[in-house]
Amino acid sequence: MKEVKPIRHIRRHSPPVTPEMAAQMRTMVTKLGMMQHDVAAYFGVNPGRVSEVVNGHTFVDVPPAPLSRLTYLQ
């Protein structure tokens, strides 16, 4: 009889945050008033990544995107 191995949990990795995504994240949270977890769900990333961007821990030199560049509104 063949040995049955236990099922291993598969870790799902978020896609890397790009400067364009970071700019849009900043705008969505600061100008549109969206919740960070909603922005994270939209981009398919961990909410911690959105928090890092919005609070200036990453992508410090990337300004918020103009509203006309938001893919969320299109």
Specify the CATH number for the domain of residue 57: 1.10.260
**Domain assignment present for 5:** no
The pLDDT tens digits for 10-60 are: 777 778 999 999 999 999 999 999 999 999 999 999 999 999 999 999 999
> Does the global pTM surpass 0.85?
no
**Domain assignment present for 52:** yes
Tell me which residue range forms the domain holding 65.
19-69
Q: How far apart are CA 53 and CA 31, in angstroms?
A: 14
**Domain assignment present for 2:** no
Per the structure, how many domains does the chain have? Answer: 1
For Cα atoms 21, 37, 63, give the angle at the middle one, nearest 5 degrees: 30
Matching residue, tokens 């821990």: 57
